[in-house]
Amino acid sequence: MKPSPKINERGLTLIELLIASGISVLVISITGGLLLSGLRSQESAQTVTDAANTAQQIVRSIQSGVRNASAISVSSNSATGTQLLMVRSIGQNPATTAPSCQAWYYTPASGGSVYTKRTSPASVITLPNGGPNGVWTRLGTGVTPADPVTGKVFNAPSGSRVELRFDVAAGRHPYVRINTTTYTPQSTSVSAPCF
């Protein structure tokens, strides 16, 4: 007796395997491309967010100091491109009215950085020679002046206001730009012990 042939015992042909493989490669390529595009977008968004956070940290620090200032001064070194923004303000201890001094230092070295330093009791803070070298707190890096003509990050056109104009590098995105002004409500005059 002969066994009866089974209807579905036939395998896949070479052409069918090639077509299935081609479709699989196409689907994997499209999926991989979408995944890589999403990762690049996420990386770009994270870089811009980090730059915006750096810019906000610098602005908040300066605004806090300037709002409580009884004196404001900006000095620049055109040869090195460095700047020093100095304020005298009431100390942070509410039990005393002794002044303190706070400064922000911008240097274009190594891609541009902004540092801060506070002295309490108040004493003169000078523009550091050779960089801040650990005695200043770095607020952010990747900072450049927004106006290449003046090359200034800080500007104090009057004794009661400070203009901030700078860019923070943001990877492939060109930059995050800051253009703001902050004021002190107090009358100001530059005098000892901070200046």
DSSP assignment of 131-149:
--TTSSEEEEESEEES-TT
What is the mean pLDDT of the segment spanning 46-72? Answer: 93
pLDDT digit string, tens, across residues 11-29: 778 898 899 999 999 999 9
The half-sphere exposure of 192 on its side-chain side, counting CA atoms within 13 A, is: 0
pLDDT at residue 173 is higher than 80: yes
DSSP codes of every residue in 41-110: HHHHHHHHHHHHHHHHHHHHHHHHHHHTEEEEEEEEETTTTEEEEEEEEE-S-TT---EEEEEEEEE-GG
Band of the pLDDT at 152, cuts 50, 70, 90? Answer: very high
* pLDDT of residue 93 exceeding 80: no
CB atoms within 10 A of CB 186: 16
Cα distance between residue 86 and residue 81, in whole Å: 17
User: In sequence order, which residues have a C-beta less than 8 Å from that of residue 88 and are 6 or more positions away?
Assistant: 69, 70, 71, 99, 100, 101, 122, 193, 194, 195
3 — pLDDT class (breaks 50, 70, 90): low
Does this model's pTM top 0.85?
no
Please list, residue by residue across 119-136, b when 16 or more beta carbons sit within 10 angstroms of its beta carbon and e when fewer do. Answer: eeebeebeebeeeeeeeb
Q: How confident is the model at residue 5 (pLDDT cuts 50, 70, 90)?
A: low
Residue written as tokens 């493989």?
A: 21
Q: In whole angstroms, what is the distance from residue 55 CA to residue 180 CA?
A: 11
Q: Is the pLDDT of residue 94 over 90?
A: no
Residue percentage of the chain with pLDDT more than 90: 49
State the chain's mean pLDDT as an integer.
87
User: Residue 140's pLDDT is what?
Assistant: 95
Place of tokens 């005298």: 88
